[in-house]
Amino acid sequence: MPSEATEPRASIGARRNPETEAAVLEAAAAIIAEDGFARLTMEAVARRARAGKATVYRWWPSRGHLLLALYSRAKSGLPSPDTGSLAGDMTAYLSAMLAQWQGEGDTPALGPLLRLLIAEAQLDPAVGAAMQEERQSRWHHIDDMVARAQARGELNPALSPGHAERRIIALLWFQLLTDSLPPPEAIPQLVQDLLGGLTA
């Protein structure tokens, strides 16, 4: 009879079993932390999570989809500050986000994961589409801050909220992809650079 350590977790078909889903994501995060991204394979994740490989592939069709689930789970823990000004909101949000990207203490840096996810999205159109859908459905931090700024009359009327959001994201992703993220003490200057031309 299989031991508790090797007994497969139960699947409930197309509907995700929350316990199995959590186990798969924890397994993927553990493999990345211990062995790096290169060792992250769907087979290794299924084995470590004691989940059926078919179940893992049904829920996450590729490694890119699994990376997206990991990143989205972490991003959902970021604050949604409402300080009364776009500069205040951006300073609070970027402080938390950059700490997450760069890692703090025993918390692994998520910046390398996002870089890998962006690369996977360029190679796999399905991952790119899933990433865009995730942003539209769940990644609303910057959208919400810009919308509040527009309602307060802070946003430059010559810019649409969508364009303002893209300008902010573009600079952040450029710094991430070129490994030029600023240290915490430089965040106020980063915010000033981001808001140049965006505010009224």
Spatial contact of 156 and 197, defined as CB atoms under 8 Å apart:
yes
- Answer with the residue of higher pLDDT: 104 or 30: 30
- List, as one string, the DSSP characters of 26-92: HHHHHHHHHH-GGG--HHHHHHHHT--HHHHHHHSSSHHHHHHHHHHHHHTTS-----SSHHHHHHH
The verdict on 98 and 160 lying in the same domain is yes
Q: What is the pTM of this model?
A: 0.82
The verdict on 51 and 76 lying in the same domain is no
Q: How far is CA 15 from the centre of its chain?
A: 23
> What does the pLDDT look like over 153-199, one tens digit per residue?
999 999 999 999 999 999 999 999 999 999 999 999 999 999 988 98
> What does the pLDDT look like over 110-158, one tens digit per residue?
999 999 999 999 999 999 999 999 998 888 999 999 999 999 999 999 9
How far apart, in Å, are the Cα atoms of 3 and each of 6, 7, 50, 126, 190?
A: 5, 6, 11, 38, 53
Q: Judge whether 4 lies within some domain.
A: no
Q: Which domain range does residue 150 map to?
A: 71-195
Tokens representing residue 65 in the block: 């989809």
The verdict on 54 and 89 lying in the same domain is no
Residue 14's pLDDT is 54
Q: Judge whether 22 lies within some domain.
A: yes
Spatial contact of 51 and 58, defined as CB atoms under 8 Å apart:
no
Tokens representing residue 8 in the block: 């497969």
> What does the pLDDT look like over 30-85, one tens digit per residue?
998 898 888 899 999 999 999 999 999 999 999 999 999 999 998 888 888 999 99
Q: Judge whether 8 lies within some domain.
A: no
Residue 15's pLDDT is 65
CATH number for the domain including 53? 1.10.10.60
The verdict on 38 and 119 lying in the same domain is no
> What does the pLDDT look like over 7-45, one tens digit per residue?
444 443 456 788 999 999 999 999 988 988 888 999 999
Residue 4's pLDDT is 36
Q: Judge whether 132 lies within some domain.
A: yes
CA angle 75, 61, 133 (to 5 degrees): 45
Residue 105's pLDDT is 74
Residue 2's pLDDT is 38
